């Protein structure tokens, strides 16, 4: 069982909230622990962003709970009706992520009527606020996430799986239906890369300098391009899978040509990933471009030559038209690879002191 940073932070936040509530002699400290669960965030930036929303949700829940309790009492039906109004207001204010916390406040205030109701409501409101503030402090202090490292490894592992399937598919080494399932899984992993990239993009550097800001901006562009390039590789794999039968009926020479070009692009993609973290020398991929540069014009010419030869002897040109999307995807993939390589070269040239990553074997999990 692997415990992530957010799991550990949640446990710490609950413990801290309960400890503080007990230290302040709050009658029901467990509400602080519950609030801490809902207030914990995956990043420091999101913690800053959401604390105001959490306070708003707590206020909305407390105010409506007090009003409905004073006007209509504490009947379970009234509590449910109050919850409906609280949900509606949170949705209207577009802070729907805080609805669970607001409902905790409603139940905490309305579940136990007493003689000094307003004082009781204020104590429960304060108890929930303790949980929110403790979660904020834990987000701020404990285990700050290393999204840069995580994002690199997620991109690396996802890309390696995509490239592996491209190689296998070109050698007819997989069942059609099995690859279809894996392509869908790879698509979901790329979507998760997009989400992780957004978390990395939202990270803020404390005491930033102009140099750090410039470096972070360039890294953002590179990571964005890493994901785009992996996506193009996945598009190419999808097209290879969809047109597997058509490609199989092409002349053997053309099949070998396509396989050789894809092998070159796949190898280049792998080297670029390694160059990004300094595991291979910068000039290696540049030399590879110079020696075996993907020639788009030649790639299109080869397609047209084989198509014309096929038409001359076979007469059926329809099957070749189906391959146009594949040709387009491969060219697009090569363009994105070349752009990625140029971005990394530029970054490593102008940010010599800030182009290394703190990577370790445990980060790959």
Exposed, middle or buried, 70 (CB in 10 Å: 0-12/13-18/19+)?
exposed
Which helix (H) or strand (E) covers residue 160, if one does? helix 147-170
Considering the segment(s) 147-364 as one domain, its CATH architecture is: Up-down Bundle (1.20)
Please state the φ and ψ torsions of residue 143, each to the nearest 5 degrees. Answer: 45, 60
What are the domain boundaries of the chain?
A: 5-141, 147-364
What is the average pLDDT across 282-298? Answer: 64
Exposed, middle or buried, 265 (CB in 10 Å: 0-12/13-18/19+)?
buried
Residue 287 banded pLDDT, cuts 50, 70, 90: low
Instruction: Encode pLDDT of 19-36 as tens digits.
Output: 999 999 888 888 899 988
Residue 52 pLDDT exceeds 90 = no
What is the average pLDDT across 313-329? Answer: 76
Q: What is the DSSP string of 120-146?
A: HHHHHHHHHHHHHHHHHHHHHHS----
Residue 161 banded pLDDT, cuts 50, 70, 90: very high
Contact 309, 212 (CB under 8 A): no
- CB atoms under 10 Å from CB of 228, counted, come to 13
Between 306 and 129, where is the model more confident? 129
Q: Which two tokens stand for residue 186?
A: 């790879």
pLDDT of the residue at 155: 94
What is the average pLDDT across 162-189? Answer: 86
pLDDT of the residue at 361: 45
pLDDT of the residue at 248: 80
Q: Which of 330, 346, 270, 251 is nearest to 294 (CA)?
A: 330
Report how far apart, in Å, the C-alpha atoms of 294 and of each of 145, 265, 282, 297, 301 are. 39, 8, 19, 9, 13
Longest dimension (CA), the chain: 97
pLDDT of the residue at 365: 42
Contact 7, 143 (CB under 8 A): no
Question: Among 70-84, 159-173, 306-320, which is the least confidently predicted range?
Answer: 306-320
pLDDT of the residue at 60: 92
What is the average pLDDT across 315-335? Answer: 82
Q: Tokens 């697009």 sit at which residue? A: 332
Looking at residue 362, the DSSP 8-state letter turns out to be: G
User: How many whole angstroms separate alpha carbon 62 and alpha carbon 51?
Assistant: 16
Residue 82 banded pLDDT, cuts 50, 70, 90: very high
Between 168 and 112, where is the model more confident? 168
Most confident residue range from 44-53, 123-132, 208-217, 278-287? 123-132
Exposed, middle or buried, 203 (CB in 10 Å: 0-12/13-18/19+)?
middle
Sequence-ordered list of residues with C-beta below 8 angstroms from that of 303, at least 6 positions apart, any chain: 254, 320, 323, 327
Instruction: Encode pLDDT of 236-249 as tens digits.
Output: 999 998 888 888 87
Q: What is the DSSP string of 64-114?
A: HHHHHHHHH-S-HHHHHHHHHHHHHHHHHTT-GGGHHHHHHHHHHHHSS--
User: How many whole angstroms separate alpha carbon 270 and alpha carbon 237?
Assistant: 16
User: How many whole angstroms separate alpha carbon 120 and alpha carbon 69?
Assistant: 12
User: How many whole angstroms separate alpha carbon 85 and alpha carbon 351?
Assistant: 54
Question: Among 232-246, 258-272, 289-303, 348-362, which is the least confidently predicted range?
Answer: 348-362
What is the average pLDDT across 269-289? Answer: 74
Residue 43 pLDDT exceeds 80 = no
Exposed, middle or buried, 68 (CB in 10 Å: 0-12/13-18/19+)?
buried
Average pLDDT, the chain: 82
pLDDT of the residue at 238: 94
User: How many whole angstroms separate alpha carbon 174 and alpha carbon 166?
Assistant: 10
pLDDT of the residue at 310: 67
End-to-end CA distance of the chain: 12
pLDDT of the residue at 312: 59
pLDDT of the residue at 207: 45
pLDDT of the residue at 113: 65
Q: Return the percentage of the chain with pLDDT > 70, whole number.
A: 85
Residue 364 pLDDT exceeds 50 = no
Residue 314 banded pLDDT, cuts 50, 70, 90: low
């Amino acid at each position: 069982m692997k415990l992530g940073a957010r799991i550990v932070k949640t446990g710490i936040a609950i413990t801290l909230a309960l400890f503080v509530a007990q230290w302040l002699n709050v009658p029901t400290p467990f509400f602080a622990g519950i609030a801490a669960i809902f207030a914990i965030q995956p990043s420091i930036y999101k913690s800053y962003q959401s604390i105001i929303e959490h306070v708003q949700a707590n206020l909305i829940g407390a105010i409506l709970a007090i009003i409905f309790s004073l006007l209509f009492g504490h009947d379970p039906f009234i509590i449910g009706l109050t919850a409906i109004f609280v949900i509606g207001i949170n949705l209207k204010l577009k802070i729907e992520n805080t609805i669970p916390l607001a409902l905790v406040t409603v139940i905490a205030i309305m579940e136990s009527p007493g003689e000094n109701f307003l004082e009781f409501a204020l104590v429960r409101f304060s108890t929930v606020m303790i949980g929110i503030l403790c979660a904020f402090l834990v987000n701020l202090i404990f285990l700050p996430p290393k999204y840069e490292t995580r994002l690199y490894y997620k991109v690396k592992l996802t890309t390696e799986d995509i490239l592996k399937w491209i190689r296998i598919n070109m050698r007819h080494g997989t069942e059609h239906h099995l690859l279809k399932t894996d392509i869908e899984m790879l698509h979901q992993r790329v979507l998760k890369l997009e989400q992780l990239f957004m978390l990395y993009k939202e990270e803020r550097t404390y005491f930033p300098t102009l140099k750090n800001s410039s470096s972070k901006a360039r890294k953002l562009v590179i990571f964005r391009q890493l994901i785009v390039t992996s996506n193009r590789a996945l598009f190419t794999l999808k097209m290879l899978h969809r047109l597997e039968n058509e490609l199989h009926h092409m002349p053997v020479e053309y099949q070998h040509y396509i396989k050789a070009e894809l092998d070159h692009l796949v190898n280049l993609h792998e080297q670029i990933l390694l160059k990004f973290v300094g595991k291979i020398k910068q000039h290696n991929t540049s030399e590879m471009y110079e020696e075996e540069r993907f020639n788009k014009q030649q790639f299109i010419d080869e397609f047209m030559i084989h198509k014309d030869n096929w038409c001359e002897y076979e007469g059926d040109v329809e099957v070749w038209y189906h391959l146009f999307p594949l040709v387009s995807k491969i060219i697009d993939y090569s363009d994105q690879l070349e752009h990625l390589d140029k971005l990394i070269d530029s970054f490593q040239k102008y940010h010599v002191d800030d182009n290394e990553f703190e990577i370790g074997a445990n980060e790959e999990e």
